[in-house]
Amino acid sequence: MYKQKAIETILKAISEQGILASSEKRDNYARIWSRDSMMTGIAGILANNQMIVDGLEKSIKTLVAHQAENGQIPSNVYGNKASYGTLVGRTDATIWWIIGTCEYIKHSKKDVLKAELKENIYNALLCLKTWEFNQRGLLYSPLGGNWADEYVTSGYVLYDNVLRYWALKNLAEVYHDHELKTMAETTKMLIENNFRKNSFEEKKYHETAYKKATNKPYFWASLNANGYDERFDLAGNAIAVFLGFDLDMNAFTQYLEEISVEFGHWMLPVFYPIIFPKDPDWNLLENNYSYDFKNQPYHFHNGGSWPIFLGWLCLGLKNRGYIEIPLKILKQYELLLEKKGANFNEYYSTDELLPLGTNYLCFSASGYLLMNI
């Protein structure tokens, strides 16, 4: 029942330009967002829904039509206007476009489109290379420079770098590029070497900070010049698990169980621990917003639960042979859809499980589809 509702939610958001973030005309959601449309399109591929896949193709073409001179892909497009970010640029918009475009080319086998977009894709990749800034292999993102645009992570962010690995891996496969395949493998090793405690002999990005960092059962959220942010980033870790990164999966799943016990449910927070007004990082949150402040404790990026990334987590865990937690997450989400309305809200507060944010979000409908694959 909910699978059909999820598909209908997405289909209602497909326009002539592509897949809107939501069919609701609220704030800036009725636009073609790179990350939203690409994730939704990939979910459509995995769910084998041709109408969603067609919407993905439209989104790819709309976004690339506004590619900047430096190869950057817009964060979103509205009519003939493109935005590359307001307070700061969006690093992940360009990466998601490369990922989604390659996934579409692999799925559709459209060789003409593959040839037409090759230069655009490689230019986008060159743009990402310039964002290393130090030519050492990891992408550097400004504060608010990705999907968590009102949150506190910055620097060498796990999520953005894991995505970059996926983009390189896809691009190497689509265009049979051995150099990019090697670059992808190097990127994966860099992440595994620098975002968790290990015994690798390779030099660390930040030796001093690495020695001071504590062992966690997951990849740390980000690394900056002033040290590590050791928070749990569910999105970055979920995609890393999905892509087969080396991680102690027994310790990781035990950690997820512990969080679920602490919160009393399986709508896990997208970042953890929660930031409260008394905490030092609160000052990074309180002024970082465009429309209104959403990051109260247990809300939005500050510990809210996002079905889209729970979907990636479920898919990743199932790919690794861990079935029980995905079933618990799916059951929990379906219970909320039944009791609190199947509106595919943007996120849920993790203290009261309130459905919040924009309704009929393709992100959340896609998350449900991913949970069912």
Question: Omega of the bond prior to 217 within 30 degrees of 0, cis?
Answer: no
The structural domain count of the chain equals 1
**Exposed e or buried b per residue across 266-281, where buried means at least 16 C-beta atoms within 10 angstroms of its C-beta:** bbbbbbbebbeeeeee
Other Cβ atoms closer than 10 A to 118: 14
Asked if residue 185 is part of any domain, the answer here is: yes
Which candidate, 329, 361, 367, places its Cα nearest to that of 346? 361
47 pLDDT more than 90: yes
Asked if residue 22 is part of any domain, the answer here is: no
What's the first-to-final CA gap in the chain, in angstroms? 15
Run of H or E including 331: helix 324-340
Please write the tens of the pLDDT for every residue from 337-360.
999 999 999 999 999 999 999 999
For the entire predicted model, the pTM comes to 0.98
Asked if residue 166 is part of any domain, the answer here is: yes
Asked if residue 155 is part of any domain, the answer here is: yes
Strand 81-83, strand 156-157: pairing: unpaired
Q: What is the pLDDT of residue 291?
A: 81
Which candidate, 302, 22, 351, places its Cα nearest to that of 150? 302
Please write the tens of the pLDDT for every residue from 116-142.
999 999 999 999 999 999 999 999 999
Asked if residue 303 is part of any domain, the answer here is: no
Asked if residue 157 is part of any domain, the answer here is: yes
What's the mean pLDDT when you consider all of the chain? Answer: 97
Q: How long, in residues, is the chain?
A: 373
Q: Tokens for 308, please give them.
A: 């889209």
Q: What is the pLDDT of residue 26?
A: 79
Asked if residue 211 is part of any domain, the answer here is: yes
Q: CB of 240 within 8 A of CB of 219?
A: yes
Please write the tens of the pLDDT for every residue from 206-258.
999 999 999 999 999 999 999 999 999 999 999 999 999 999 999 999 999 99
Instruction: Please name every residue paired with 111 in a beta bridge, in sequence order, or none if there are none.
Output: none
Asked if residue 176 is part of any domain, the answer here is: yes
Residue 56: pLDDT band by 50, 70, 90 thresholds? very high
Please write the tens of the pLDDT for every residue from 153-178.
999 999 999 999 999 999 999 999 99
Range of the domain at 179: 131-244
